[in-house]
Amino acid sequence: MLDACSNQLRSWLFDEPARGRYAKHLHPLLKFLRYPYALLRDIAHGELTLRAMSLVYSTLLSLAPFLALAFSVLKGLGHDQDMAVVIYQFLEPMGSNATELTARIMGFVNSVRGGVLGPISLAFLIYTVISTIQKVEECFNFIWQVEKPRSWSRRFSEYLSVMVIGPVFIVALIAIVNSDSATTLTRLSPVSWMLSHTRQLGTLLMVSAGMTFLYRFIPNTSVKLSAALIGGLCAGTAWTAGGYLFARFVATSTQTALIYAGFAIVILALIWIYVSWMILLLGVQITFYVQHPQSLRSGYREVHLSAKQCERFGLSVMYLVARDYHHGLPHWTLNHLSERFNIPAATLKPVLESLETKRLLVSTDDERYLPGRNPETILLSEIFDALRHNQDDWTGGESSNEPIPDSITNAACEAFNRSTEGRSLADLLVK
């Protein structure tokens, strides 16, 4: 019953005929409703919640060393006191517990910074920071359907940049929000009404800008700034609203302290960290769907192409890759090809893998595709053969031992081979 309702809702949102005579008037609304539908479906799938839970554990391990590194950077800039302000703003939804927990965290940071830990322990804690950022990248790549992570050299340089630039970025935003100019703007008309709650707007600005940066930088693929900005604004707004609701929950929930006693502050902190990671990942999902709206319908569901579609898309891929390579144009990526054909990247990827298996395509380290060899030596029959036969094919026999069906299929194959005989990929480029 639930599956039938889900299928009916999906058909109503994505299929024009299912909407009836009101399709034209409902189209803008239904186009917007596809996004919350896709997000709720992905949450029900369970993968996002599991990854958010794993990030909570990683956060607990890497929090102290990461903050210690950030503290060192900020101290060199003369803004080391801003660290406690940032931590408090993140924990502020916990109500009166925020001050105590902020003091405890800063105590851990001072311990790490002060050299209380030995060199081996310190190296282990620094490793947890790197592994946490790597785990975040894996989560982002999963949502973006990117299987190849950054190389080790890129990880070292780019992760280090995040750990150094991140604290500076946060301090710069705090300075803008708390500057004299921002205070003066609150007294000016007509923007005074907009900035009457400067602190709340400043927090929203800071969180949205930080998430936009993460959505643009972390995935190992090309992310449009417009998509990252929309995802960052949605996630920043959700985090700010979630913080307000969580603060109300903490203020009205007195039974939590009675049940967990001294552990209540820890339980509440874990819940809030989980909620924050969940909002962050949902923002990534929004960014992905904004850039790839063709994936809204399928989501994580595996969609299989028919044999005819595989051949058509495969030949189109070979033509586009060879054409742009021949003319010296930017090379194609999986996401660009997905946008060109308006199909999910996960659906198109097996087609590209079949071509790579036969060495008709090769991919670079940055996941751009090039012809496997000179297009003049790539026969069209080779392309179709690679798309029809792959390593997963059954090899138990070539014949069904039924004379009439075998004769018909063999005749069809012979006719197809005659139509492509002697023609190469280069022949398509000159037309």
Q: Which residues pair with 195 in a beta bridge?
A: none
CA 3, 25, 297, 289 dihedral sign is negative
φ, ψ of residue 363 to 5 degrees: the values are: -115, 140
In DSSP notation, 116-177 reads -S-HHHHHHHHHHHHHHHHHHHHHHHHHTT------HHHHHHHHHHHHHHHHHHHHHHHHHH
Q: Which residues of 141-174 are buried (b: 16+ CB within 10 A; e: fewer)?
A: bbbbbbeeebeeeebeebbeebbeebbeebbebb
pLDDT per residue as tens digits for the range 29-76? 778 888 888 898 888 888 889 999 988 888 877 776 677 666 666 666
| pLDDT per position as a tens digit, 66-116 | 776 666 666 666 665 666 777 777 777 776 677 777 777 777 666 655 455
> Going by DSSP bridges, is the β-strand pair 332-333/368-371 parallel, antiparallel, or unpaired?
antiparallel
**What are the residue ranges in the chain where pLDDT is below 50?**
18, 114, 179-196, 391
Amino acid at 375: P
**Of 47, 45, 32, nearest in space to 6 by CA:** 45
Helix, strand, or coil (residue 362): strand
- pLDDT, one tens digit per residue, over 143-154 is 888 777 777 777
Q: What was the pLDDT predicted at 283?
A: 94
Say which residue the tokens 């949450």 belong to.
Answer: 43
Tokens of 288: 């992905």
**pLDDT in the model for residue 215:** 92
pLDDT for residue 288:
92
The token pair that represents 238 in the structure block: 């959700």
* pLDDT score, position 202: 66
| 185 close to 205: Cβ distance less than 8 angstroms | no
What is the rounded CA–CA span in Å between residue 71 and residue 92? 20
Amino acid code (one letter) for 46: G
Classify domain 307-392+401-429 by CATH number.
1.10.10.10
In this prediction, residue 192 carries a pLDDT of 47
| Alpha helices, H only, 46-96 | 47-77, 82-91
pLDDT of residue 227: 92
User: How many C-beta atoms lie closer than 10 Å to residue 251's C-beta?
Assistant: 12
What are the residue boundaries of the structural domains of the chain, listed by start? 2-45, 47-295, 307-392+401-429
Longest CA–CA span in the chain (Å) reads 90
